[in-house]
Amino acid sequence: TNQEKMFLVFTEWVKLLQRVPENDIKVTVFIRQMMDKGVINSTDNMIQFTKAAIELSVGSFKESDPTSEVFIATDAFSKLIVKLLVLQDFTALSRSEYLRLMISVITMVFSEDQGMADNSFNERPYFRLISSLLCQWEDVSGHNFIKIQDQQFRNELIEFTPEFYNIIASFLHAFQPIAYPGFSFAWITLISHRMFLPKMLSLPGKVGWSKLILLFTDLLKFMAQYTKKNDVPDAVSVVYKGALRVFLAVANDAPEFLVENHYELLNNLPHVYMQLRNVILSAIPKRMVLPNPYDPQLSIGDVESCQHVPNVFYDPVQDLKNLKKPVDNYLRIPSASLLRVISTGIFKADQQKDSGIGYDSVSVDTKLINAIVLHVGIEAALEKDKTTATAIFNTKSSYYALLASMLSEGTTEVRFHVVQAIVNQLRYPNAHTLWFNYVLKNLFLSEEWGPSFAEIQEIIIRTLLERVVTNKPHCWGIIVTFTELLKSSECSIMTLPFVKDVPEVEHIIKHL
C-alpha cells in the first residue's frame, strides 16, 4: 500500500543517516529522489508521509529497549524536516505553509495518541522531535545560514527564521497544559529550551515576545486554575518550582522582557504566588545600578533614572474596553458622571472564585483595574514630558484625582485591587515608580477620605507589607516607599489603631 511504501522510505532514511555523515552527498541525493519519485510531491502524499514518519518514530521509541538509543527515528525525522525546509524550492506552498502542514499532521497524530484509552501515551518522543528540530535548525541557521552556498536561498531562510520560531510557538500554544495535561512537563521543558527561549527573547524587533507572553500566560493560567491556597496537588507544586526557575533565568538573561511585560504577566499570576510576583517586578534593566533603597539620605526625586519612562511592550489601553473613552475624557476634564461610569464599569457580571490572600472570590475585573491604573501612569508620564512635572505631581491633577476618586467611591474590594495595581508599579527607579510613589504617599496621608481613612491606610500598609515579608527579592520602589511612610512625621504608623490591633504585624513594622 501507499502507506507501507511511506514507511519503507522513512526507514531507509533513518538507516542512511546512521551510516553516513549528514553533509554527505548521498543524503541530498536521497531527498532529491524522494521528490523525483513523487513521495512528497503532493499535499496528500506529504500528509501521508509525515503521518508515517511520526507514527514510526513514536512506535520505535515505544518498542525500543529503554537503555538503548530510543530516539534514532525521531532524530532522523527532525533532520528530514530541516533538510526539506532548506533544500527545496518553494513555489506552490510557502515554507511557512509547508512547515505548518507538517506540524499539523504531527499534532493530529499526537492528539490521537494521547487520547488512546490504553494510557500508553508518552510525551518523550514528541518532546524529542521538537527539541531535535530546534537543535538542528540552530545548526543549519548558524551565522545567518553561512553553510548555505546560494545567496538567494540564504536570504529567504533568514527571512523565514522568525516564522519558524513562531510556528513552533503556535504549536506549543495549542499543546498548553490546560489542553493536554499529559504533555505538561515536556511542554514546560520546551518553552524554556535553550534553542527556543533565548532565541524568542532575542529575535530582532522583539518579534518573538508576543508569542512568548502567550506561552507564559498559558503556564500561569494553568497554575492559577489549579492552585488552591492550602491544597496544591504535588504535581502542580512541581510545575511551580520549574516555573520559578525559568523566570529567574529570564530575569538574569533578559530582564527587559520582564520589565516591559510585567503588566501582562501579573494579570495572569495567581495572587498567592507572592515571591514569583516579586521576582517579576524586581527585574531591573541590565547594567542599571540601584541606589541603596535603605540609604536614609535617599530622596527618590533625586534619582536620575526616575526621569526615564519605562518601556511597556503591550499597551494596556487595549484592555480598557468600553472604559477607554470615559477614562481618557476624565483625564482631560474630570467629572462626577464620568467617574460614575468608570466606578460601575469595573465590576464583573458575576462573582468569580479567586485564590487570594484573605479572599476567595472577586467581583471586580482586576485586569481592567490594572489596565486603568497603568494607563493613567503612562499618560501621566507623557504629560510630564509634554508640559511640566507640576502638572502630574499635583493632587489636583486629573491623573491623581481619578485614582483617588476610585478609592473614595469604591468598595473595600475595589480599594484593595486599585492599591494593588498602584503598588505593582513601584519597581526599579523609573518615571512610573516615581509618580506612583507620589500617588501612594499622598493617598496614605490625604485628609480627604473622611471615615474611610483608616480602611484605605490599612489596605495600603497591608499591600506594601505583604511584599516585604516574603523572602527576597523585594522591589526597590516598595522598599523606598514603605521606608518613607515609616519615617513620615505626618503619620506614625505604629500608633495607628489597625496596626496595634494585630500584635504580630505591629512587631514586624517595629522591626522594619
Piece of 158-166, 344-352, 357-365, 394-402 that binds other proteins (CB under 8 A): 357-365
Q: Look at the block and give the residue holding cell 501515551.
A: 121
List, in sequence order, every beta strand (DSSP E) within 430-496. none
Query: For other proteins, which residue of 416, 435, 476, 482 counts as binding (CB under 8 A)?
Result: 416
Q: For the CB of residue 97, give the shortest distance to other proteins in the complex, in Å.
A: 26
- Provide long-range contacts, Cβ within 8 A and 24+ apart, for 340-346: 340/409, 342/372, 342/402, 342/406, 343/405, 343/406, 343/409, 343/410, 343/414, 346/372, 346/406, 346/414
Residues 55-94 that bind other proteins (CB under 8 A): 71-72, 75-76, 78-79
DSSP code of 296? Answer: T
**How many helices, marked H, and strands, marked E, lie in the chain?**
24, 2
Residues 366-395 that bind other proteins (CB under 8 A): none
Residues 297-356 that bind other proteins (CB under 8 A): none
CB-wise, 19 or 396, nearer to other proteins?
A: 19
Q: Which amino acid is at 309?
A: V
Residues 463-502 that bind other proteins (CB under 8 A): 465-466, 469-473, 498-499, 501-502
CB-wise, 267 or 278, nearer to other proteins?
A: 278
Q: For other proteins, how many residues bind (rule: CB under 8 A)?
A: 103
Of the candidates 315, 317, 313, the one whose C-alpha atom is nearest the C-alpha of residue 258 is 313
CB-wise, 41 or 412, nearer to other proteins?
A: 412
Q: For the CB of residue 443, give the shortest distance to other proteins in the complex, in Å.
A: 15
Q: For the CB of residue 328, give the shortest distance to other proteins in the complex, in Å.
A: 29
CB-wise, 287 or 396, nearer to other proteins?
A: 287
Residues 126-155 that bind other proteins (CB under 8 A): 127-128, 131-132, 135-136, 138-139, 142-143
Q: For the CB of residue 389, give the shortest distance to other proteins in the complex, in Å.
A: 30
Query: For other proteins, which residue of 88, 96, 122, 452 counts as binding (CB under 8 A)?
Result: 122
Piece of 159-167, 209-217, 268-276, 437-445 that binds other proteins (CB under 8 A): 268-276
Q: Does 161 bind other proteins (CB under 8 A)?
A: no
Q: For the CB of residue 283, give the shortest distance to other proteins in the complex, in Å.
A: 12
List, in sequence order, every beta strand (DSSP E) within 395-459. none
Residues 229-258 that bind other proteins (CB under 8 A): 229-230, 232-233, 235-238, 240-246, 248-250, 252-254
Helix, strand and coil percent figures for the chain, each rounded to 5: 70, 0, 30
Of the candidates 52, 133, 18, the one whose C-alpha atom is nearest the C-alpha of residue 86 is 133
Distance CA 185, CA 239 (A): 8
CB-CB contact of 85 with 73 (8 Å): no
Q: Write down the H helix ranges in 68-196.
A: 72-87, 95-114, 124-145, 151-174, 184-191
Binding mask of the shown chain, residues 189 to 208, with x at each position contacting other proteins by CB under 8 A: x--xxxx-xx--x-------
- The radius of gyration computed from the CA coordinates of the chain, to the nearest angstrom, equals 28
By CB neighbour count within 10 A (0-12 exposed, 13-18 middle, 19+ buried), where does 185 fall? middle
CB-wise, 409 or 413, nearer to other proteins?
A: 413
CB-wise, 461 or 485, nearer to other proteins?
A: 461
Q: Does 115 bind other proteins (CB under 8 A)?
A: no
Distance CA 199, CA 251 (A): 15
Q: For the CB of residue 205, give the shortest distance to other proteins in the complex, in Å.
A: 19
Q: Does 20 bind other proteins (CB under 8 A)?
A: yes
